[in-house]
Structure 1
Amino acid sequence: MLLHFFWNLIAFILALSILITVHEYGHFVAARFLKVKVERFSIGFGPVLWSWRDSNDTEYVISAVLFGGYVKLFNTRKKIASCDEERNQSFNYKRIWKKSIIVVSGPMFNFLFSIVLYTLVFMIGVPIYKPIIHSVIPNSIIAQSHVPSGVEIKSINNVLTRDWDAVRLEILNSIGKEKIIISATPINSTHIKTYTINLPCNWFNKPTNNKDPIITLGILPFNTHVLPILSGIQSDSAAQRAGLKIGDKIISIDDQLIHNWESFITIIKNNPEKTFKIIVERKNKILNFNLTPDKKHLVPSDKAEGVIGVFPKITCIPTKHHAIHQYGLHLAILEACEKTWKLICLTTNTLFKLITGDVRITHLSGPIAIAQGAGASAQSGVIYYLMFLSLISINLGIINLLPFPTLDGGHLLFFIIEKIKGKSISKKTQNFGYIIGSIILTFMMCLAIFNDISRLW
């Protein structure tokens, strides 16, 4: 457990340091290009761990607290600069369009960095799984639309879906809509059938919702090695006493949908002697059982975990269901640009839906969730870590463009107001804006951390 924590922490700090450096380097490059003096380029805040000064009198700093960074630009507060050189190098003496370019360059570099990362990913080769439905959860949204198992999803809302990531992206883009149009074809067939999926109001916000929108709709992908299907039951076990049988497929536990064996067994282990309501599928019938895991003491520790005495069904993914997508440099760049643009649109859409209520605020994730994602992706391999970095880089760029005074978007908002008014905003108004912006961002961060902690329990 402790090793897992440190692994996540290291992966998180590495990711954050890289992305902050990229973001601040965008501001730095634009400032240098537009002849604004950079006084300090800092990665992190607090006590200085390392510093170096170049020939342009710019100090490069790495500080102890890596959760942030900044570029300090020369900005004379005098109404009249003491000399032409001071005036030419000062940020506040530059024209509004130049200041805007410097401010927006940070987020833009985050987007460009995403393209670079995805270019590398597509050149190395991306493992993909064809969107073949392994099974459909009974009584789910998909089941009510009579979508069968064993078919390959070809498109959603007329957008081609060659892998599960594309399916997931289109489902997320459909949040807030009344229906989804799915085109699918049986394996080894060219006959395409179209299904209209009517979406209940706030389907994505239900308490039984999984993190994966594919599972929430009721689709179990054909990319699971260990299935929540019982292949063996020990005699005189909790499962046998409850009435479970070999071949039973676990649908839910206490109204929480189960899509893989790991999630089911984790709940059982963490709750010895607690009675659960289990729903299973047996020979196309839905049955309900009460299951109470036995308590097993772990040696040599004093801890205990729940056991029910069952074995899962293990299956292999057919080789025809997965492939490696690899491209040359030119095609990789095109694919990377398209992927980055889709993720930018998805993230922007999701933020808008958080405001409208189509996506609940409980879905907002903070640093704990990001650290978990960093650790999991790093453990899965370089490809997945690069894709994780790309996604977080896009999120960082978009968040910084929000019109809060403490963010880059807030500075742009001030510049727009200044251009309309024909004069700069007073320092008093700016300081008030910074206070309000800081309060809002602090509240959002606390809420995100609260959501992260809630998911741990």
Structure 2
Amino acid sequence: MVLDYFWNIVFFILTISLLITVHECGHFLAARFFGVKVEKFSIGFGPIVWSWQANKDSTEYIISIIPLGGYVKLLDKSSISSDSESYHTRNDSFHSKDSWKRGIIIAMGPIFNIIFSIILYTLVFMIGVPVYKPIINYIFPNSIVEKINIPVGSEIKSINGIKTVDWESVRLNILHNINKEKIVISTICVNNDEIYEKSYVIPLSINWLDKSIIKTQDPIIALGVLPCIFRATLNASEIKLHPVSEQDTLQINDKILLINKLPIYNWQSLIQIVKNNSGQSCQLVVERDKHLLYLNVVLIDNYEVDSGKFLKNINFFLAPDIVCKSIKPVIRTDELFTAILKACNKTIDLFIFTVNALFQLVSGNVRITNLHGPIAIAQGAGKSIHSGINYYLMFLAVVSINLGLINLFPIPILDGGQLCFLLIEKIKGSPLSKKIQNFSYIISFAILILIMVLTTYNDITR
């Protein structure tokens, strides 16, 4: 468990450092292109760990001890002595450039994050991604979907007219329509060798995601659907568990659906869930006699996993006692040009989805408790790298898009705020006073700290 935390922190630092480097490279290269002198290029804040400078007139490259940020220091008039002969003649300072050039230099950081996401998704599509058809394997009793009688085994072909080729596209389409009063799901079902298509209208209430009988942030599961990737049915003569109470005893033939709100996709995900929660209280969602039960159990510390079997007092359930129904994914690979087009479309879709999610947050359709912070990013980095390089690249792309978008917020300490200052300068004919700018920096810094504390609190409570 301690080792898992350690690697999560390591991959979190690597992820943030890489994305910040990409972001600052955007500012750096744009400044160089427009002839602005770059005095410092720093990854991280605080005490300097390493620095290099070819000569006193060149850029100083710095790595600092706190890898949660970075900056590019451009030559400014304030850096030049007013007594210097070059004070009025130098044209390599940031403020000596036209406002449109300064705007491009500022905007190029977020733009580089978006471009980096396209590059990452291009690699993902060329390497190949496992695609699971969105076939409904299980429907939770008394759930939203169960009430409209969609047959188990149906394949979801579209949501509100948008084609769905895998579970990820299903998830994104549901989230795109999270504030709608209803969604229309079109399916294909096979019955007695006869294939037929049917559409179902699913009514949605306000904040339906938070009101779901299944306590999860996954919209597919919240609707009451378990993806057809893996199904585990307990059928054991002996179950070794540590129930928190007598009411939390797992029984033979209970269907284990979720562990700590996570579906069991395959043996690898099951092993990872057990490892991550060893020695801790876990909540199991099981079906017993067509009723959902929430059981609290503790997985003890001693475990060993070998060839898909839990051995040596895992105190969970054993591989021979599990009846598995599994569907193998189709691995799709694309040529370079096709991969680039798909990567562009994927990045645009995620960017629009993120913007829409922020509007839903502001409008109150999504609760602020759904915001994720640094702990969630660290956990995501660790889990994705353990799942494979492709999954880590996809995780990196998503975080890169979010970083680029967040930096466009009209907050003075961010790039978006600096663009607002430029716009005001263009309209007003002169820049805002230093006093107003400095005050706005203090306020915006306080806002960012508040958001950081809130998201960290959300991560901890989860």
Q: TM-score range by the shorter chain?
A: 0.7 to 0.9
Q: Is the deviation greater in 1-10 or in 18-27?
A: 1-10
Contact 2:77 2:93 in 1 (8 A): yes
**1:361-380 counterparts in 2 under 5 A?**
361-380=368-387
Measured at CA, do residues 137 and 411 of structure 1 come closer, stay the same or move farther in structure 2, by a change above 3 Å?
Answer: same
Distance 1:297 1:396 in 2: 37
- CA distance in 2 between counterparts of 1:110 and 1:318 reads 35
Q: What are the superposed Cα offsets for residues 274-319 of structure 1, whole Å, 9 maximum, x if unpaired?
A: xx9976342xx33769x686997969xxxxx996878863414233
Quick one: percent identity of the two aligned structures?
Answer: 48
Task: Give the corresponding residue for 1:61.
Answer: 62
- Aligned 8 A contact 1:293 1:308 in 2: no
Q: Which residue of 2 aligns with 1:317?
A: 326
> 1 CA distance for matches of 2:278 and 2:142?
24
1:231: which partner in 2? 235
Matched, 1:448 2:455: yes
Q: How many residues are aligned here?
A: 437
Q: Which residue of 2 aligns with 1:122?
A: 125
Residue in structure 1 matched with residue 199 of structure 2 by the alignment: 194
Query: Distance between the aligned counterparts of 1:71 and 1:104, measured in 2?
Result: 13
Distance 1:103 1:214 in 2: 39
Q: Is the 8 A contact 1:233 1:245 kept in 2?
A: no
Are 1:336 and 2:340 matched, yes or no?
no
Q: 1:183: Cα distance to partner?
A: 0.7
Deviation by residue 1:106-161 (Cα, 9 ceiling, x = unmatched): 00000000000111111111111111111111111111121121011111111111
In structure 2, how many angstroms separate the alpha carbons of the residues matched to 1:427 and 1:330?
A: 48
Q: Report the residue type matching 1:23 in the other structure.
A: H
Does residue 71 of structure 1 match 2:72? yes
Task: Name the aligned partner's letter for residue 440 of structure 2.
Answer: G
Q: Is the 8 Å Cα contact of residues 132 and 330 (structure 2) preserved in structure 1?
A: yes
Q: CA deviation at 1:191?
A: 2.5
Kindly state the Cα deviation for residue 4 of structure 1 after the two structures are TM-superposed: 0.6
Shift of 1:407: 0.3
Distance (whole Å) between structure 2 residues aligned to residue 444 and residue 10 of structure 1: 23
Deviation at 1:63, TM superposition (A): 1.2
Distance, in Å, in 2 between the alignment partners of 1:95 and 1:257 is 53
What is the TM-score normalised by the length of structure 2? 0.86
Distance change >3 Å, CA 265–CA 70, structure 1 → 2: closer
Q: CA contact under 8 A between 1:122 and 1:326: conserved in structure 2?
A: yes
Q: Is the 8 A contact 2:141 2:292 kept in 1?
A: no
Counterpart check, 1:2 vs 2:2: yes
Deviation at 1:251, TM superposition (A): 6.2
Distance (whole Å) between structure 2 residues aligned to residue 139 and residue 332 of structure 1: 41
Q: CA RMSD in A?
A: 3.2
Listed one character per residue, the Cα deviations across residues 331-375 of structure 1 (whole Å, up to 9, x for unaligned) are: 000000000001101111111111111111111111111000000
Structure-2 change in CA distance of 1:214 and 1:449 (3 Å): same
Indicate the SS of the match to 1:22.
helix
Which blocks of at least 5 consecutive residues in structure 2 are unaligned? 304-312
Gaps of 5+ in 1: 300-304
Partner of 2:208: 203
> What's the counterpart of residue 218 of structure 1?
224
Instruction: State the Cα distance separating 1:211 from its structure 2 match.
Output: 2.8
Contact 1:238–1:309 (8 Å) recurs in 2:
no
Please say if residues 268 and 293 of structure 1, whose CA atoms lie closer than 8 Å, have aligned partners that are also in contact. Answer: no
The C-alpha deviation readout for 1:197-255, integer Å capped at 9, x for no partner, is: 1112101223853132111111100112x52x32114289889x8686543325689xx
* Aligned residue in 2 for 1:381: 388
Partner of 1:302 in structure 2? none
- Report if aligned partners of 1:230, 1:310 keep a CA contact under 8 Å in 2: no
Match of 1:352 in 2: 359
1:95 aligns with 2:98: yes
